[in-house]
Amino acid sequence: KNDSGGKVYACEKFPNFEMLLQAEGVANSGNTPTIVIRGPCVSSDDGRGLNPLMIPLKSLHKNLRENPIFRVGIGQGTDSFILSAQYLYGDWPRYWNVVGVKLSNDTENISIDGYEIISLLDQPLTLDFAEDQ
C-alpha cells in the first residue's frame, strides 16, 4: 500500500523484471545452460498479474548462439526485453526450469528462487522450449 493506504501493484513499485532459467538435466563440463530474461515489469490490464513476455522460440536457439545477448521487442511499442545465455553448447535443451524470479527498483527487490517455487508448487516450474512450437 502507498502512504495514503491505496493499493500499489507490483510493477508500480518494482519496474524491473528478471527471470533465470536453467536447462533440465543438462550440463556441459559441469556448467548448466542458463538463460536470463531481463526487461520491464508490465502489469496486466487489471493490475493483478504480470503480462507475459512472448519469447520467440523458433529463432531463439539460433539468435542466442549468434548473439549471447538478444533483444526482443514487446508488442508494437518501443519497449523490449533482453535474453542472455551462458553455457549453450551442443544440442538445444528442450526443457528449462525457472530457478529465480526477481522484481526490483533502484533501491530494493523481491525475489523467489527455485527451491521456493518447488515448495509452492510441489514440483519445479518447467518450460517446454521446443523450437517447433
| In the predicted structure, residue 105 carries a pLDDT above the cut 90 | yes
**DSSP assignment string, 42-62:** -B-TTSSSBPPP---HHHHHH
Average pLDDT over residues 6-21: 91
Higher pLDDT, residue 48 or 106 = 106
| In the predicted structure, residue 120 carries a pLDDT above the cut 80 | yes
Which pLDDT score is estimated for 60? 82
Sign of CA dihedral 39, 43, 44, 45: negative
Which pLDDT score is estimated for 54? 84
Joined grid coordinates for residue 30? 559441469
Q: pTM for this one?
A: 0.86
Structural domains in the chain (count) = 1
Q: Residue 2 domain-assigned?
A: no
| In the predicted structure, residue 133 carries a pLDDT above the cut 60 | no
Q: Residue 98 domain-assigned?
A: yes
State pLDDT tens for residues 42-72: 888 887 788 888 888 877 888 888 888 888 8
Q: Residue 3 domain-assigned?
A: no
Which pLDDT score is estimated for 131? 66
The overall average pLDDT reported for the chain is 88
Distance CA 133, CA 22 (A): 19
| In the predicted structure, residue 15 carries a pLDDT above the cut 60 | yes
Higher pLDDT, residue 90 or 86 = 86
Q: Residue 26 domain-assigned?
A: yes
* Domain extent at residue 49: 10-128
Q: Residue 87 domain-assigned?
A: yes
| In the predicted structure, residue 29 carries a pLDDT above the cut 80 | yes
Q: Residue 88 domain-assigned?
A: yes
Which pLDDT score is estimated for 63? 82
Q: Closest Cα partner for 85 from 132, 129, 40?
A: 129
